[in-house]
Structure 1
Amino acid sequence: MPSIESYIGTPSTTDNKLWSVFLDSDIQTNLDSICDLVLSIFDAKSCTIIANFPQSRVNLSQRGDVTNVCDADLKHDQFVESLINESQSAGSEGDTKAYRLVSPIILPSNLKFGWLIVERISTQPLTSKEVSVFGVLQKDIVNHLVQRKQIVEQKKAAELQATITQLNRDFIFIKDENFKIVYANDAFINSYPPSMHDKVIGYTTVESFEAKEADLFLEQDKIAFEKGLSKVVENIHMPNGNRIIVETTKKRFEDKSGAPLILCVCRDLTEKEGLINRLKKANRELDEFTSIASHDLRAPLNAIKRLLEWISDDCETLLPDEHLENFQLVISRANRMQTLLEDLLKYAKIDQCDVTLSTTTLEAVYQDVAQLLDIPSSMTINIDSGNSQINIPAVPFKTVILNLLSNAIKHNDKTHGIINISLRPALHYYVIEVTDNGPGIEPKYFSLIFQLFQTLRSRDEVEGTGIGLSVVKKHVTNFGGKVDVSSNGKTGTTFTIFWPKQHLNS
């Protein structure tokens, strides 16, 4: 909503506690000229333009005698003529009559800006012609105020644009049809040595190139002029000696005269490309580790297991029960190591799993994963989704549900275990809740349970590697979702999965 301040600025108090506002010379001169013109045309003794600030009324221009007005004189929202005694005006003597003209100044936004107040020496009301002239002068005041506001806004916009251009790290420049640079921001100019700063604007910067080299350098400029757009990632040698990788976009446009130009924006991708290369290197190293773990660790581990099993079988009748128990314990540890290795390999390959979208239901997902679970006959699993369809990447989603159910089954300590799986409606997510009636998880362990290899109970009590919930969290976060856990630590746990309906590219 426009305010009076947006047209002429904010008022302030002077030393004598009077409100005033500082106007720039142009608008002040225009308002004073209008007041002088009113005095001349209407044989007036005074003319005042007042701004109606919320804090106070402020005189913007005063010509002739000082005019005293009260709230009652300014209550009308339309032009008013009234016959007054001159004694009502400051400095007047006697009791002669005069006409006071009060006209509210209404801006195009219907904002009541203030008033134009005139006191005439004549005791006759304005003629229709004079009323028309008065209206023109009042409109002139409005036009000056509107123009002043537009100029201020344009100046602020220009200053803001200049600041943005100055602070922008992208190289931004404009070329004409002769490939000469007609504009360049600070980042582009500063990419040249100081001695060359005055050789940028008005130059192609390839004046010293051989013809073939210049044609190659300007190839994308020509494409942009011919086709309207050019976009390319290139490794370039900067004038200051640096080599950087940039994404350069060049788009054709026309100036107000119709002359063709191209806007060029070069974005430095060196840091981004370096990060991508480091990530690729890390992924290659991870793949190499996976390959080593798959063969070089798995093979000797299997050999150790077989050897232990053979010894156990051969010595079953020869060794005391205590020694046989120790052998079984060692075999159990070897089995646990093999399971840990398998789970670790699966975790390492999460980012490589199939992310193809599939339309299915929560009931269908459960039927698939249930075949992979050892569900006790005493366990009841309920599905509540109304058979609603969901569009999800099937493989990672099923892996998440599989691990949550496996975790709930494994840790349930009740004679009759219950697991409820539900799908709640939401605008941007599939919200899946998996609730069990197990022992619960104390809130202080909520962040710990999602870390690799973390278990809240000894592996001798409950067999497991501590990777399951880490797999859940990694799959969900890879697709832009999140997983929450709630429990009082005594009566069951609820895991809530927020799976985005439009998944992010992982």
Structure 2
Amino acid sequence: MSQKEIEILQRALARERIARKQAEQILEKKSDELFSLSQKDKKNKEKLEALLKVKNSELKGFYENLVDPYIMMNLSGYAIKMNEAAEKLIGYRLSDGGFNLMKLTQPKDLDYVSESFKVLMDTGRISNFYINILTSTSEVKLVEVNASIIYDENNTPIAAQGILRDITLSKKYEKRLEAEKQKYSNIIANMNLGLLEVDNDDKILFANHSFLEMSGFSNKDLLGNKAADVFLKNEYKPKLAIESENRKKGDSNSYEIQVHTKTGDTRYWLISGAPNYNLNGEVSGSIGIHLDITNLKKLEQQKEELLKDLAKSNESLQEYAHIVSHDLKSPLRSINALVAWIKEDNIENLDEMSVQNLVLIEKTLEKMEDLISDVLEYSSVGANLNLNQNVDVHHLVKELVEIIYVPENIHISIEENLPIVMGDKVKLQQLFQNLLSNAIKFSDKEIGKIIVSCTEMTTHYQFSVSDNGMGIEKEYFDKIFKIFHSLNKRKDSSGIGLSIVKKIVELHHGNIWLESETGKGTTFYFTIKKEK
């Protein structure tokens, strides 16, 4: 081999060593990189496994602590996992041995369940699936099921899982609520009172049958239109606007309003209105119950007219009584004067019997004049009545006792609790004067006792005037309050006094009655309302 060839070979070997060296360096570098990647992949895998373990633990805890029942089954229908809520619902436990969920299905629902399971397998999930299940105690429960398919890494179905919700009670309540709703809807639709529902803009949302009848309109005429525009003239619209504002504030009340029906008739309605609320508790409008009070208003108007006519008649009657009283008294006084002159001029020529007859005529004339005065007094009891006076009854009775004649053998006792009442002072004075005078007049005891007292009741005062006089038989209790009914034919008794007493009590919106026992005495009771 020549020197040149050797040199060429040596250069080739040198290049080969250099190339091998470079290759070794590259290989070493790539080995380092591969090792580094391998280590990183190992760490990532460890992290992923740890994360997966945590997530599996969390998922397990989630299903175990889920409030709603959770069940996992294989594709043959056998339960492989379920939480405590599921065990409580169906009454079976996994620890008791595997069981097929078809065991929970009633025979009549088998086809329904099979079809639904096919849908689950085809679509991967099923929602709002309702089924009646049989628990271990044969109790039927309605449940709502939301289920899904579990797949493996090759997307092959391996199991199914579902969350159940027991809606047995809620369904019962729902049915009951619907029945109640239907019941009240029927009541509202058929009740005799008109019902109208409007929104916050006064647009009509609902009207029951009675309302349609009383207004003359149809649902087509009303729904969507404003109530004020349909029923009210312009002058009454502000009043309804005020009531609508009250509803928005949550206020309820009743009010009267004048309306016109479809035929143009004017009617009066009494409306009881209340706010209507939505599910959020916000006022969404109002509901009104309507009562047609047109006939009642007409009766009120007739009553007012009758009262006016009655007042005029009373005035005329009182005027007539005064005229009659004057016209009757004038001839009586003339006769009385003539009798007196005859007696005076002929006293020496008249025998005893004639004188007695003239005296009897004078007494009869006097009694007739007293009777006419009493009639006038009775007819005038309601005149110039003022029931708004504060009357101190204790002071009034005390003054009366000092004015009227009280014999020495009679003692009048006035209790200290006599109140101050609202009434007509003159009329109340007349009332007590008549009762006291009667008690004095018909006292037959050596020592007469009269007691004036009062008992305070819830709404009124109950007064009493008691005596220990001759008493009154029970058969006369009602008669003595009637005009011209006197139990004793005495000269000073016209039979009008107690009639006046009764009339005064009734003018003060009270009642009067008596209790009595013959020979022991009488108590007159009467009531006067308290001041409001």
Give the TM-score taking structure 1 as reference length: 0.59
Q: Which has the higher contact order (CA 8 A, sep 6+)?
A: 1
Please name the residue that 1:391 is paired with.
Answer: 421
Say which of 173, 178, 191 aligns to 2:196: 173
Q: Distance in 2 between matches of 1:258 and 1:414?
A: 77
Say which of 257, 275, 293 aligns to 1:267: 293
1:501 equivalenced with 2:530 (yes/no): yes
Q: Distance in 2 between matches of 1:38 and 1:262?
A: 47
- Report the CA distance between 1:495 and its aligned residue: 1.5
Q: Which runs of 5 or more structure 2 residues have no equivalent in the other structure?
A: 1-85, 108-134, 139-164, 248-252
1:406 equivalenced with 2:434 (yes/no): no
1:190 equivalenced with 2:222 (yes/no): no
- Report the CA distance between 1:252 and its aligned residue: 7.6
Per-residue displacement from partner, 1:148-205 (whole Å, max 9, x unpaired)? 7766666666666666xx234xx55344466544344554422345xx4445532458
> Is the 1:432–1:496 Cα contact (8 Å) retained in structure 2?
yes
Which SS does the other structure have where 1:167 is aligned?
Answer: coil
- Report the CA distance between 1:500 and its aligned residue: 3.2
The one-letter code sitting in structure 2 at the alignment partner of 1:329 is K
Q: Which runs of 5 or more structure 1 residues have no equivalent in the other structure?
A: 1-33, 48-62, 65-116, 121-135
Say which of 453, 459, 471 aligns to 1:422: 453
Larger radius of gyration: 2
Q: Distance in 2 between matches of 1:208 and 1:432?
A: 58
1:356 equivalenced with 2:388 (yes/no): yes
Aligned residues: 369
Q: Distance in 1 between matches of 2:209 and 2:433?
A: 56
The one-letter code sitting in structure 2 at the alignment partner of 1:465 is S
Which SS does the other structure have where 1:353 is aligned?
Answer: coil
Structure 1 residues 241 and 233, CA gap change in structure 2 (3 angstroms): closer
The one-letter code sitting in structure 2 at the alignment partner of 1:190 is E
- Report the CA distance between 1:310 and its aligned residue: 2.1
The one-letter code sitting in structure 1 at the alignment partner of 2:453 is S
Q: Distance in 1 between matches of 2:483 and 2:257?
A: 39
Please name the residue that 1:285 is paired with.
Answer: 313
Supply the RMSD in Å over aligned alpha carbons: 4.4
The one-letter code sitting in structure 2 at the alignment partner of 1:293 is A
- Report the CA distance between 1:394 and its aligned residue: 5.1
The one-letter code sitting in structure 1 at the alignment partner of 2:328 is L
- Report the CA distance between 1:321 and its aligned residue: 0.6
User: Superposition pairs for residues 211-250 of structure 1, below 5 Å?
Assistant: 214-216=233-235, 218-225=237-244, 231=255, 234=258, 239=262, 246=268, 248-249=270-271
Give the TM-score taking structure 2 as reference length: 0.57
The one-letter code sitting in structure 2 at the alignment partner of 1:408 is A
1:201 equivalenced with 2:233 (yes/no): no
The one-letter code sitting in structure 2 at the alignment partner of 1:368 is E
- Report the CA distance between 1:283 and its aligned residue: 2.3
Structure 1 residues 208 and 393, CA gap change in structure 2 (3 angstroms): closer
1:482 equivalenced with 2:487 (yes/no): no
> Is the 1:430–1:501 Cα contact (8 Å) retained in structure 2?
yes
> Is the 2:413–2:452 Cα contact (8 Å) retained in structure 1?
yes
Please name the residue that 1:38 is paired with.
Answer: 90
Please name the residue that 1:304 is paired with.
Answer: 331
Q: Distance in 2 between matches of 1:373 and 1:464?
A: 16
Per-residue displacement from partner, 1:195-251 (whole Å, max 9, x unpaired)? x44455324589799xxx9534644333434576895565x665567665x365585
Q: Distance in 2 between matches of 1:400 and 1:160?
A: 55
User: Superposition pairs for residues 364-375 of structure 1, below 5 Å?
Assistant: 364-371=395-402, 373-375=404-406
Q: Distance in 2 between matches of 1:477 and 1:35?
A: 80
Q: Distance in 2 between matches of 1:181 and 1:363?
A: 63
Q: Distance in 2 between matches of 1:279 and 1:293?
A: 20
Per-residue displacement from partner, 1:338-358 (whole Å, max 9, x unpaired)? 223222223343xx5211252
Percentage of pairs with the same residue? 20
Please name the residue that 1:79 is paired with.
Answer: none
Q: Distance in 2 between matches of 1:420 and 1:436?
A: 7
Q: Distance in 1 between matches of 2:177 and 2:230?
A: 46
Structure 1 residues 230 and 425, CA gap change in structure 2 (3 angstroms): closer
Structure 1 residues 337 and 273, CA gap change in structure 2 (3 angstroms): same
> Is the 1:250–1:264 Cα contact (8 Å) retained in structure 2?
yes
